[in-house]
Amino acid sequence: MVDRAMRAPGPYLQGLPASTPTLSILMLLMKHIAIAAFLLLFGCPDFLSAQDQNLRDYGIRIGVLPTGANNTITDVDGVWVGHQTIIKGEDIRTGVTAILPHPGNIFQQKAPAAVYVGNGFGKLTGSTQVRELGTLETPVVLTNTLSVPTAADALIEYTLGLPGNEEVYSVNPVVGETNDGYLNNIRGRHVSRTDVIQALQKARGGAVPQGNVGAGTGTVAFGFKGGIGTASRLLPGRYGGYTVGVLVQSNFGGVLQIAGVPVGKELGKYYLSGTLNESPGGSCMIVVATDAPMDARSLERLAKRAVLGLAKTGGIASNGSGDYAIAFSTAESVRIPYRSEKRLQDQRVLRSDALSPLFMAAIEATEEAIINSLFHAETMSGRNGHTIEALPVDSVLSMMERYGRVPGTE
């Protein structure tokens, strides 16, 4: 068994494998000191409001492919993410998350895209046009179920206001949702158009806050606090060197598994058990990005694989769960201009027999993104005094050791 004192000599080093190099430990300490100084000076903004621990910070690996630099969807070149977190009073626990395929005018330079529906008890505004035309012309916005119309309205306002869109008269806003009504006063519809615009304006590349932020503020997964999670995979050069990134809004149920370990069963907390027999519905939104040059047909196949990643975590796509995956390519060579004098469009896209490595990357990244959403989430209380506990990470780590998932315990 790994010596816990070696793995976690202090609160800021908790979860590090004993083999972690001294330089890495010093860099992590410096990171936390910098964060603490920032908080003292400026308070706690959205982008620092979640826990700062990824599954991999504990030495646990999912799959075989390497991650991108940040292990986030923003490792895909051009993708930006922004959050607006709304926590007010005793019962407002919600927010907005915006994902931009590229930082330019998305309406003028549309991204190839596709949607796959694992279980359709949900709302993904704009999905029919994405399926029909195979393009994405706005950012993807995630929020709560009853705030979808507000978010769509704000996304239209945002798009019409972009320079170059003065003569645009039709916009297809893409908005997904999960129902955060257990912790959030969802009937109050507390997400405003301003909140949506702020999430869009906050979007940036680099590190992505996870857990109780943005659209994941009030969500619940596997009976524990869910939230926003993200991960990425980098293909070896011989397979193109492409990146696949995934972001999820986790709010669903089943029997939790982490790296193949039956965590939910071990903890005695899973659907149809005596301790967790309420409805496992609630939904999961999955956003998949890649820089591989792919057309809409291939992207739909990629989106299907993301739902396999959801299944690997123990999700069961229950009757009341809206499980949607939307996939897009950021490759400039396959973007579709809004207006063009050419009647023919030349595109070079990957052949079907070159897609399997990308499929595996999507499965791995989705699985890890969901687990990251749980590892980052914190215990939260909300509407009607409801409290949802965070995943008991210490207990899970002990379990991972017993099953040989922590380095040195195989």
In a domain, residue 285? The reply is yes
How large is the average pLDDT for residues 60-71? 97
The span from the CA of 38 to the CA of 308, in Å, is: 40
Residue 304 and residue 197 share a domain: yes
Residue 80 and residue 38 share a domain: no
The span from the CA of 209 to the CA of 366, in Å, is: 16
pLDDT band at 52 (very low <50, low <70, confident <90, very high): low
* Amino acid of residue 150: T
Q: 365 near 231, Cβ under 8 Å?
A: yes
The span from the CA of 274 to the CA of 278, in Å, is: 10
Residue 326 and residue 188 share a domain: yes
pLDDT band at 153 (very low <50, low <70, confident <90, very high): very high
* Amino acid of residue 261: V
Instruction: Give yes or no for residue 27 having a pLDDT over 80.
Output: no
Residue 110 and residue 7 share a domain: no
- pLDDT at 276 (0 to 100): 63
Instruction: Give yes or no for residue 197 having a pLDDT over 90.
Output: yes
Share of the chain above pLDDT 90, in %: 80
Residue 7 and residue 140 share a domain: no
Residue 334 and residue 186 share a domain: yes
Residue 77 and residue 28 share a domain: no
In a domain, residue 282? The reply is yes
Q: 49 near 213, Cβ under 8 Å?
A: yes
End-to-end CA distance of the chain: 9
In a domain, residue 48? The reply is no
Tens digits of residue pLDDT in 290-307: 999 999 999 999 999 999
Residue 306 and residue 395 share a domain: yes
pLDDT band at 147 (very low <50, low <70, confident <90, very high): very high
Catalytic residues, by residue number, are 283, 321, 323
pTM for this model (two decimals): 0.88
In a domain, residue 49? The reply is no
Residue 341 and residue 227 share a domain: yes
Closest CA to 271 of 219, 211, 318, 322: 318
In a domain, residue 408? The reply is no
Tally of domains in the chain? 2
Residue 19: CB atoms within 10 A of its CB come to 12
Residue span of the structural domain in which 21 resides: 1-43
Average pLDDT, the chain: 89
Closest CA to 388 of 141, 222, 150: 222
Residue 87 and residue 35 share a domain: no
In a domain, residue 407? The reply is no
